């Protein structure tokens, strides 16, 4: 919707013989400072402001006379044109301006034109052509005059909407030309940019914009998608003036204003991320000594067999062994280190270091995770515990894979500890589920829901 108040649009005019005098009006809202601009040849006037609804008269000063019209700098900063016959006091009209060859609009044209000094563009129709100006009858009922040079035709076109999947053409209108691009207001209310050569009918490119922005190709960003302005992650595919082309992570492509986008500092996905804490680095150093391990198989120094000195487990598996040993090596004390499964979740909650998986949050490499039972994903229980090693690794055959470090692998007769590639799918559409091992014999081959994890940094920060 168009904003019909005349504020935040102060213009500066370099005009000869202008007297600029600041004044504080006690009767104005919140005693705002106003700038009164007066021409010696014209007195201050009351002029109509033609927003929607009844015509209102507001104080201002004439800064330009153009035939039957006068340009008004209103006292509160708004700018607009009015017929001189409608001013109070009235002033004589000037000579009718000659037709302007650069004003190619005709009455009835669909256009996008600026409203007041803010230069925000709104849709409307040409109500009158007058020299260098056009009278704009805006779609919401407002009326104002605009320079033809600042107004654009609304061209009805078929334009591509580059969401995920095949490119499709949709009806819309061009509301802005910007070099090789056109901003499209689609008929369903969506907004996007498209190369003019991809429109139907195709348009002509304008000169390359001189504006620039600070983004670089390949940079990770958060950028708005369509008019809803909801932010989504992606990478910069091209930098073009005030715009960036965003190749969104879900496969969609669109252009976004650089001013509305931000550098995206994504989640930590692997142990080699420089943001990994010293606590996690220490955990991985201990992990590297023990992975892989197999019961009864000696390791060459400096490697350490995880199972050395641990009695063979005849019931269940040893999945709790690796997290328990690593926590003890980091100096953690208490029940949480007792090689348990359910105990990890229960103690984590008591200590305030447990993170419930909600489908949006994500563990960091080094966190101790738990999986629920495959036949009861909604039940808050623990079927397996392990250590997160890498998140969101892309595999050409499996898609997204999470790498975990787990004991309790191999067979009952010969337990193993190893890195496990687990395919990740949101089986319920919300929460991450991890498959059984895809690269080594081991635990259940079902998809099991991640119940949550121990935040290692918080655990080690406890007194």
Among 11-15, 249-253, 374-378, 431-435, which is the least confidently predicted range? Answer: 11-15
pLDDT for 259-304, tens place per residue?
999 998 878 999 998 889 999 999 999 999 999 999 999 999 999 9
Q: Give me the pLDDT at residue 16, please.
A: 32
Q: Is the dihedral of CA 297, 300, 306, 308 positive or negative?
A: positive
Residue 197 has pLDDT above 60, yes or no: yes
Q: How is domain 155-263 classified at the CATH fold level?
A: SH3 type barrels. (2.30.30)
Q: What is the pTM of this model?
A: 0.49
Q: Cis (ω within 30 of 0) for the bond into 201?
A: yes
| Helix, strand and coil percent figures for the chain, each rounded to 5 | 10, 40, 50
Indicate the SS3 state at residue 342.
helix
What is the rounded average pLDDT for all residues in the chain? 85
Q: Give me the pLDDT at residue 164, please.
A: 59
Among 179-183, 262-266, 294-298, 450-454, which is the least confidently predicted range? Answer: 262-266
Q: Give me the pLDDT at residue 80, please.
A: 86
DSSP codes of every residue in 150-186: G-EE-EEEEEEE--SSS-EEEEEEEEEEETTEEEEEE
Cα distance between residue 99 and residue 131, in whole Å: 5
**pLDDT tier for residue 3 given thresholds of 50, 70 and 90:** very low
Q: Which residues contact 375 (CB under 8 A, 6 or more apart)?
A: none
Among 339, 314, 322, CA closest to 413: 314
Mean pLDDT, residues 97-104: 85
Among 243, 239, 237, CA closest to 224: 243
Residue 33 has pLDDT above 80, yes or no: no
Among 1-15, 344-358, 406-420, which is the least confidently predicted range? Answer: 1-15
Q: Give me the pLDDT at residue 32, please.
A: 36
110-115 vs 152-153, strand pairing mode: antiparallel
Among 273, 280, 284, 269, CA closest to 391: 269
Query: Is there a contact between 52 and 140 (Cβ–Cβ < 8 Å)?
Result: yes
Mean pLDDT, residues 248-258: 90
Domain ranges of the chain: 19-153, 155-263, 278-461
Q: Give me the pLDDT at residue 180, please.
A: 94
Q: Give me the pLDDT at residue 83, please.
A: 92
Task: Assign residue 378 a region (left: φ > 0; alpha: ψ between -120 and 50; beta: otherwise).
Answer: alpha
Q: Give me the pLDDT at residue 50, please.
A: 67
Beta bridge partners of 192: 184
Q: Give me the pLDDT at residue 26, please.
A: 35
**pLDDT tier for residue 307 given thresholds of 50, 70 and 90:** very high
Mean pLDDT, residues 336-359: 94
**pLDDT tier for residue 191 given thresholds of 50, 70 and 90:** confident
pLDDT for 108-139, tens place per residue?
988 888 876 667 778 899 999 999 999 999 98
């Amino acid at each position: 919707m168009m904003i019909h108040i005349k504020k935040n649009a102060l213009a500066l005019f370099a005009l000869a013989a202008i007297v600029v005098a600041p004044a504080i009006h006690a009767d104005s809202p919140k005693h705002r400072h106003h700038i009164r601009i007066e021409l010696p040849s014209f007195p201050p006037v009351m002029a109509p402001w033609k927003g929607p609804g009844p015509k209102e008269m507001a104080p201002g000063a004439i800064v330009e006379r153009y035939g039957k019209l006068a340009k008004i700098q209103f006292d509160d900063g708004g700018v607009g044109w009015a017929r001189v016959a409608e001013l109070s006091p009235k002033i004589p009209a000037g000579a009718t301006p000659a037709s302007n060859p650069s004003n190619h609009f005709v009455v009835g044209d669909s256009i996008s034109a600026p409203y007041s000094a803010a230069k925000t563009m709104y849709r409307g129709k040409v109500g009158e052509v007058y020299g260098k100006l056009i009278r704009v009858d805006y779609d919401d009922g407002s009326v104002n005059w605009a320079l033809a040079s600042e107004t654009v035709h609304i061209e009805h076109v078929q334009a591509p909407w580059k969401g995920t999947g095949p490119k499709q053409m949709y009806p819309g209108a061009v509301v802005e030309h910007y070099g090789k691009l056109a901003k499209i207001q689609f008929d369903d209310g969506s907004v996007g940019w498209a190369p003019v050569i991809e429109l139907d009918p195709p348009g002509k490119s304008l000169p390359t914009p001189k504006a620039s922005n600070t983004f670089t190709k390949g940079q990770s960003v958060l950028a708005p998608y369509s008019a809803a302005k909801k932010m989504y992650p992606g990478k910069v595919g091209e930098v073009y003036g005030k715009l960036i082309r965003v190749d969104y992570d879900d496969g969609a492509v669109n252009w976004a204003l650089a001013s509305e986008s931000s550098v995206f500092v994504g989640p930590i996905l692997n142990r080699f991320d420089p943001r990994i804490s010293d606590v996690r680095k220490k955990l991985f150093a201990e992990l590297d000594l023990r992975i892989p391990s197999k019961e009864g198989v000696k390791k060459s120094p400096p490697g350490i067999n995880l199972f050395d000195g641990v009695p063979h487990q005849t019931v269940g598996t040893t999945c709790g062994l690796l997290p328990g040993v690593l926590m003890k090596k980091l100096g953690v004390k208490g029940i949480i280190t007792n090689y348990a499964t359910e105990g990890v979740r229960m103690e984590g909650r008591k200590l305030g270091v447990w993170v419930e998986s909600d489908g949006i949050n994500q563990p960091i490499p080094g966190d101790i995770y738990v999986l629920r039972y495959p036949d009861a994903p909604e039940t808050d229980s623990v079927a397996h515990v392990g250590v997160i090693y890498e998140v969101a690794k892309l595999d050409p055959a499996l898609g997204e894979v999470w790498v975990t470090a787990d004991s309790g692998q191999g067979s009952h007769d010969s337990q193993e500890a190893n890195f496990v590639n687990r395919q990740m799918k949101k089986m319920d559409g919300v929460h991450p589920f991890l498959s059984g091992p895809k690269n080594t014999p081991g635990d259940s081959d079902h998809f099991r829901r991640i119940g949550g994890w121990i935040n290692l940094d918080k655990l080690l920060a406890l007194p």
